[in-house]
Amino acid sequence: MDADPEWYPGKNYRKRAGPQAVLQGKKRKQVAKSAMNLKKEGAEPTYAAIAARCPAAVVNPDTGRCWARRAPAPAPPRNFKDPRGAR
C-alpha cells in the first residue's frame, strides 16, 4: 500500500475479481462439449448426465470427489456459435 501512489481503499490487486472458476481449461471445454452433445441428442444436459459422460472432468483433484452440484454450469467455449443467433 505504501509503495503504491495510486492506492485507494478497496483497490484490488488481483487480475480478476471474484472467486477462481471451478472448471478451467480442457476440463471446462470437455464439460461444455458433453453438454452440447447431450442437447444435440435431445437429452437435457443435467449435472448427473454430464458427470456420467465425462467423470474425469468433474472430479475435484484436491478431494478426488465430484464437484458440488451447486457449482455453476460452465459457459460454452468462446468459439461456440449459438444456432438461434443470440449472443
Q: Widest CA span of the chain, in angstroms?
A: 58
| Count: domains in the chain | 1
Q: What is the Cα gyration radius of the chain?
A: 18
Residue whose grid cell is 468433474: 58
Give the three cell numbers for residue 9.
Answer: 481503499
> Would residue 55 count as lying in a domain?
yes
pLDDT of residue 13: 75
Instruction: Report if residue 68 sits inside a domain.
Output: no
pLDDT at 38: 92
Q: Which residues of 23-41 are buried (b: 16+ CB within 10 A; e: fewer)?
A: beeebbbbbbbbbeebeee
Closest CA to 61 of 23, 11, 29: 23
46 within a domain of the structure (yes/no): yes
Which domain range does residue 25 map to? 21-61
Residues of the chain under the 70 pLDDT cut? 1, 68-83, 85-87
In a domain, 1, yes or no: no
